[in-house]
């Protein structure tokens, strides 16, 4: 009897191998999709997911949500909060930091 091999046992290593091969050949995947945006916001996701998860757990207990709804709400909520934090906090902070010294001082004086 032949056992079925789960897709993660062959698909994930194959995808990783394809990504390494593409990087070695100098071809990079397109950087415009939603996963790229989430990758840019990954630090915000790392920092904020515990707070979102805590709020979802409180809401789930208060309103009697099923487990699948709690999981979906936690994932979507954490991603949404991370993307907002990246757009409204991280990116403006990094843009100010990236300015040359004279431009940063002129910006600070203008404010």
Cα 45 to Cα 21: distance, rounded to the nearest angstrom: 28
Taking only the tens place, the pLDDT of each residue in 78-89 is: 999 999 999 999
Taking only the tens place, the pLDDT of each residue in 4-13 is: 556 666 677 7
Q: Is residue 8 a part of any domain in this protein?
A: no
Q: Is residue 42 a part of any domain in this protein?
A: yes
Q: Which domain holds residue 71?
A: 31-110
Q: Indicate the pLDDT class of residue 35, thresholds 50, 70 and 90.
A: confident
Q: Is residue 15 a part of any domain in this protein?
A: no
Q: Is residue 22 a part of any domain in this protein?
A: no
- Write down the pLDDT at residue 1: 47
Q: What share of the chain is helix, strand, coil (3-state, %, to 5)?
A: 80, 0, 20
Give the count of domains, the chain: 1
> Quick one: average pLDDT of 42-49?
93
> Quick one: average pLDDT of 21-34?
72
């Amino acid at each position: 009897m032949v056992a079925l091999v789960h897709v993660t046992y062959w698909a994930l290593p194959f995808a990783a191998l394809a990504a390494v091969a593409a990087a070695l050949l100098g071809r990079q995947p397109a950087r415009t999709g939603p996963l790229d945006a989430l990758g840019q916001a990954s630090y915000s996701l790392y920092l904020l997911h515990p707070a979102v998860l805590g709020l979802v757990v409180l809401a789930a207990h208060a309103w009697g949500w099923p487990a699948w709804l709690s999981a979906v709400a936690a994932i979507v909520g954490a991603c949404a909060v991370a993307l907002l934090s990246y757009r409204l906090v991280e990116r403006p902070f990094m843009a100010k930091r990236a300015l040359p010294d004279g431009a940063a001082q002129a910006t600070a004086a203008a404010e």
